[in-house]
């Protein structure tokens, strides 16, 4: 008896024979078009080996090896596998997927999991790469103070703040996974983007892969949150030591609690902001924009920041373009997930307006980001090392890059090729942050 399963380039199951049903215990209607081939393998094997298996098949025309799979009931089965590339439109055309053949064997197969895979497993669960959206704006605020003069911010407090926000961001990521799985959103989603195994849309898929259980996910989220609060305690103590007053501590505490509230209730009930037609996008804008930059100022400044002072408004204003660009990362990621999100009541803006009309929302958010950035030009001229011309030219070039991404969204909003625009939106936000870090402190000119 032989299992034969075909899939597309992202692992979505296209066909499976009767042998596959008997070997794995799933019915065709449960799998075809609804699941990915990773459902048959333990998550750690997927992370560690599948990429190499596919690369070997691409290079030599096939991969032959031994592994073990898990049946629907969780039973372990030992097997010999053969993977070959598929060219559904002819071998002279681009590859369309893979074919996997599985034959059961009597011998016991052990697949050892190395240390690097365990690290990657942690990265996959917490989605560490997305923390650049919170860390880089904080570094931009440090550059802002460095550009104003010497000794205006505490390096120790900057490090504590970055570490605390990093843990809080990771906690929010894991909580979001927990609530999306609990609400059935991730289970309904088979259109998510995970090129080369990297989580772009649709959550981490860590629970689906069996890397972690639902309850363990909650435990990890709470542990990260608790660790963040411990770091916050050290930070608040040091803020008081540096400034000699409680005002910055109070400001940092208020901002931190606001960020925690927005991050948790983004997907958590009863608020579930992401389901409330624009409130989720607003939550992301504030949490990763004005609140983040204001909170960083409270945390690292060596001087007290008075409520509603010019410095207070400056820190808020600096966060506005960051908030818009980070919101666009979320916004474009909603397109491939829209159908499954709508089915579980996750009524964000793309679901609300429909994919076709919602495309223009990306352009509006992008334009607001750069309009608010250019508006800062005159305000930032107080810096000793600030060049207005460089700032305006840099903004113009990055906006043109953003427009090129928007053109891809216009064309590919219902296609798998949209993934390139999703990735480039992340790149744009990162480049913008780096540009701000440099332009706010052009000490080398």
* Other residues' Cβ atoms within 10 Å of the Cβ of residue 159: 13
- Note the pLDDT of residue 241: 95
Mean per-residue pLDDT for 395-418? 96
* Gap between the Cα atoms of 37 and 5, Å rounded: 8
Distance CA 16, CA 5 (A): 4
Structure token digits, residue 69: 């799979």
Transcribe 200-212 into DSSP letters: -SS---TTTTTSS
Of the pLDDT bands very low, low, confident and very high (cuts 50, 70, 90), residue 95 is: very high
Let me know if residue 109 belongs to a domain. no
> Which residue among 43, 76, 104 closes a domain?
104
Closest Cα to residue 21, out of 108, 105, 106, 102?
Answer: 102
**Residue 118 belongs to a domain:** no
Both 381 and 428 in one domain: the answer is: yes
My answer on whether 135 and 225 are in the same domain is yes
Q: Is the pTM of this model over 0.75?
A: yes
- Same domain for 86 and 129: no
Report how far residue 313's alpha carbon sits from residue 431's, in angstroms, rounded to the nearest whole number. Answer: 24
Contacting residues for 166 by C-beta, under 8 A, at least 6 apart: 131, 134, 135
Retrieve residue 86's tokens: 């598929």
Residues 428 and 331 both lie in one domain = yes
Residues 292 and 157 in one domain: yes
DSSP three-state, residue 95? coil
- Return the pLDDT at 48: 92
Same domain, 249 and 397: yes
3-class state of residue 79 by DSSP: strand
98 falls within a domain: yes
Domain CATH code at residue 49 = 3.30.450.20
Overall average pLDDT of the 54-62 stretch:
95
SS3 label, residue 113: coil
Q: How far is CA 128 from CA 53, 131, 204, in A?
A: 25, 6, 10
- The answer to whether position 304 is within a domain reads yes
Indicate whether 361 and 289 sit together in one domain: yes
Quote the domain boundaries for residue 299.
123-439
Report residue 201 as tokens: 């849309």
The pair of structure tokens assigned to 25 is 């215990």
C-alpha distances in Å from residue 194, one per residue of 25, 229, 336, 404: 26, 32, 11, 22
pLDDT at 1: 85
Residues 136 and 217 in one domain: yes
- Taking a C-beta distance cutoff of 8 angstroms, is the pair 177, 216 a contact? no
Is 229 part of any domain? Answer: yes
- Taking 80 as the threshold, does the pLDDT of residue 408 lie above it? yes
Whether residues 82 and 231 share a domain: the answer is: no
**Average pLDDT value over all residues in the chain:** 93
Q: Are 322 and 137 in contact (CB under 8 A)?
A: yes
Helix, coil or strand: residue 12: strand
> SS3 of 8, please?
strand
Residues 176 and 68 in one domain: no
pLDDT digits over 240-257, tens only? 999 999 999 999 999 999
Whether residue 260 contacts residue 168, with contact meaning beta carbons closer than 8 Å, is answered with: yes
Number of structural domains, the chain?
2
The tokens for 388 are 């207005």
Q: What's the mean pLDDT in 281-295?
A: 97
Domain-embedded: residue 116: no
Whether 156 and 93 map to the same domain: the answer is: no
| Whether the bond into 270 is cis, omega within 30 of 0 | yes
Dig out the tokens for 285 from the structure: 């804008």
With a cut of 80, say whether residue 352 has pLDDT above it.
yes
- Domain closes at, from 70, 104, 138: 104
If pLDDT is split at 50, 70 and 90, which confidence band does 443 have? low
Kindly state the helix (H) or strand (E) to which residue 102 belongs, with its residue range: strand 97-104
Is residue 193 predicted with pLDDT exceeding 90? no
164: pLDDT confidence band, cut at 50, 70 and 90?
A: very high
| Euclidean distance between CA atoms 174 and 326, whole angstroms | 18
What the block records as the tokens of 21 is: 């049903």
Query: Same domain, yes or no, for 151 and 87?
Result: no
Q: How many of the other CB atoms lie within 10 Å of CB of 277?
A: 14
Q: What values do phi and psi take at 383, rounded to 5?
A: -70, 140
**Is 349 a residue whose pLDDT tops 70?**
yes
Instruction: List the CATH number of the domain containing 184.
Output: 1.10.600
| Residue 111 lies inside a defined structural domain of this protein | no
Specify the higher pLDDT residue, 206 or 37. Answer: 37
Is 159 a member of any domain?
A: yes
| Average pLDDT of span 332-344 | 92
CA–CA distance, 163 with 231 (Å, rounded to integer): 7
Q: Check residue 379 and give its pLDDT.
A: 84
Euclidean distance between the first and final Cα of the chain, in Å? 71
Listed residues 50, 77, 104: the one ending a domain: 104
- Enter the DSSP assignment of 106: S
Decide: residue 273, CB within 10 A, 0-12 exposed, 13-18 middle, 19+ buried: buried
């Amino acid at each position: 008896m032989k299992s034969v399963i075909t899939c597309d380039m992202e692992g979505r199951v296209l066909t499976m024979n009767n042998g596959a049903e008997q070997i794995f215990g799933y019915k065709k209607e449960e799998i075809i078009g609804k699941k990915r081939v990773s459902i048959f393998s333990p998550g750690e094997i997927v992370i560690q080996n599948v990429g190499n298996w596919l690369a070997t098949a691409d290079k030599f025309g096939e991969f032959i090896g031994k592994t073990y799979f898990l049946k629907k009931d969780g039973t372990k089965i030992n097997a010999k596998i053969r993977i070959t590339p598929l060219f559904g439109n002819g071998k002279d055309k681009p590859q369309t997927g893979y074919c996997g053949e599985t034959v059961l064997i009597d011998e016991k197969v052990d697949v050892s999991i190395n240390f690097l895979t365990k690290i990657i497993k942690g990265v996959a669960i917490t989605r560490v790469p997305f923390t650049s959206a919170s860390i880089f704006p904080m570094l931009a605020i440090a550059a802002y103070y460095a550009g104003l003069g010497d000794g205006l911010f505490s390096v120790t407090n900057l490090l504590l703040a970055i570490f605390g926000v990093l843990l809080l961001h990771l906690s929010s990521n894991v909580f979001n996974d927990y609530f999306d799985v609990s609400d059935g959103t991730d289970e309904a989603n088979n259109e998510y983007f995970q090129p080369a195994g990297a989580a772009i849309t649709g959550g981490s898929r860590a629970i689906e892969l069996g890397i972690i259980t639902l309850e363990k996910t909650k435990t990890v989220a709470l542990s990260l949150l608790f660790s963040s609060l411990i770091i916050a305690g050290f930070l608040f103590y040091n803020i008081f030591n540096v400034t000699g007053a409680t005002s910055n501590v109070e400001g940092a505490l208020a901002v931190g609690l606001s960020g925690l509230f927005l991050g948790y209730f983004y997907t958590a009930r009863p608020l579930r902001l992401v389901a409330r037609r624009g409130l989720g996008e607003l939550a992301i804008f504030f949490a990763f924009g004005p609140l983040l930059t204001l909170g960083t100022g409270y945390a690292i400044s060596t001087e007290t920041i008075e409520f509603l002072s010019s410095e207070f408004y400056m820190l808020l204003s600096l966060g506005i373009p960051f908030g818009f660009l980070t919101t666009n990362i979320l916004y474009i990621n909603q397109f491939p997930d829209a159908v499954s999100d709508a089915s579980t009541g996750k009524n964000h803006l793309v679901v609300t307006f429909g994919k076709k009309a919602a495309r223009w929302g990306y352009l509006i958010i992008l334009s607001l980001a750069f309009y608010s950035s250019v508006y800062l030009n005159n305000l930032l001229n107080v810096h000793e090392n600030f060049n207005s011309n460089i700032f305006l030219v840099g903004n113009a070039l990055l906006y043109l890059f953003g427009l090129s991404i928007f053109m891809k969204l216009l064309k590919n909003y219902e296609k798998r090729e949209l993934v390139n625009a999703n990735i480039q939106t992340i790149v744009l936000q990162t480049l913008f942050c780096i540009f701000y870090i440099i332009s706010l402190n052009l000490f080398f000119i």
